[in-house]
Structure 1
Amino acid sequence: MTQSTPGADGRRIAELLASELVAREDGPLARCSLRDVRDADTLEPGEFGAFAYAVHAGEEDGDGDDEAEGGGDHLADVYVHDDRGRVEFRRAQSVAAEAGGEADLRVRPKAVEPPRTLVFVEDTGQVKRVLPVFEAALAALDAA
């Protein structure tokens, strides 16, 4: 039997992060919207985690899926593991890596095409620390 760290529940981490991202009415995170949201109770994390939701920068376009129709930038995907959460930044990867390191979060590249940056959220206490990573990535999108 493995011992779990208090607050290290991937489903709870993903729920808290979602709340932080969509509850903002001002500031850079107010632009974030969630897409393809899965029911947390039905997620089966398995060895590689389970997709929980996508984070987009910009407004919903109606069908919640097509960026080409003005639905905003697909910024990141959030995955649930049994004992942690994982954010895969699809845009502004180098900025996300630097900001994640500065926030003292575990960060690593993912060698896929296109490349991604993984930021691990190990417990519920780290949810607030990943928010500046999203803010930095959004600022990088604005600067591009």
Structure 2
Amino acid sequence: MVTDRLADGVRIAELLASEVTGNESDLRGLAVVDADREVEPTADGALAYRIAREESGTDEDATETVAEVYVQPDRVRVEAIAAPDAAAEAARAVDLRARPKAVHPPRTLVFVEDGAGVKRALAVLEAVGNASGEE
């Protein structure tokens, strides 16, 4: 039985970024942008990178941020900017903890607390990407 679990926020964020950039089918059109390669985790969360959708029909540099990824010492917080309702529903479906953030426009916070949660977080990002592409 494996008793070790990955609970290092920076490493979890790296795994998530790697999965996003390497998953060409389900996350087509989403990319990691504005990455801070030397991010230091904080209790409130330090912005590690944004996840953006390339806008079709515009020049190749145009992107829309759909989520932001923040690093805390022992976890990652994904803030769904686009389609917060879709993010909340997808998080519940894959058993990730999520809660609304009372800002304008509203966001949904999704917590990835270990390395095993990274694959489940991809379903959340897929839902956000798909829902934001329909708007």
Q: Same fold (TM over 0.5)?
A: yes
Deviations 1:62-110 (A, max 9, x none): xxxxx99862221000010100011000000000001001110000011
**Where does the alignment leave 5 or more consecutive residues of structure 1 unmatched?**
60-66
**Code of the aligned partner of 1:12:** R
Deviations 1:45-77 (A, max 9, x none): 222011100000116xxxxxxx99862221000
More helix by share: 1
Question: Is residue 105 of structure 2 the alignment partner of residue 114 of structure 1?
Answer: yes
Question: Is residue 65 of structure 2 the alignment partner of residue 74 of structure 1?
Answer: yes
Question: Is residue 98 of structure 2 the alignment partner of residue 99 of structure 1?
Answer: no
Change over 3 Å in CA distance of 1:28–1:48 after alignment to 2: same
**Percent of matched pairs sharing the same residue:** 48
Partner-residue secondary structure (3-state), 1:124 = coil
Question: Is residue 8 of structure 2 the alignment partner of residue 9 of structure 1?
Answer: yes
User: Runs of 4 or more off by more than 4 Å in structure 1?
Assistant: 67-70
**Where does the alignment leave 5 or more consecutive residues of structure 2 unmatched?**
none
Cα distance in 1, alignment partners of residues 83 and 97 from structure 2? 17
After superposition, residues 1-144 of structure 1 pair within 5 angstroms as 6-25=5-24, 27-39=25-37, 42-58=38-54, 71-144=62-135
Partner-residue secondary structure (3-state), 1:130 = helix
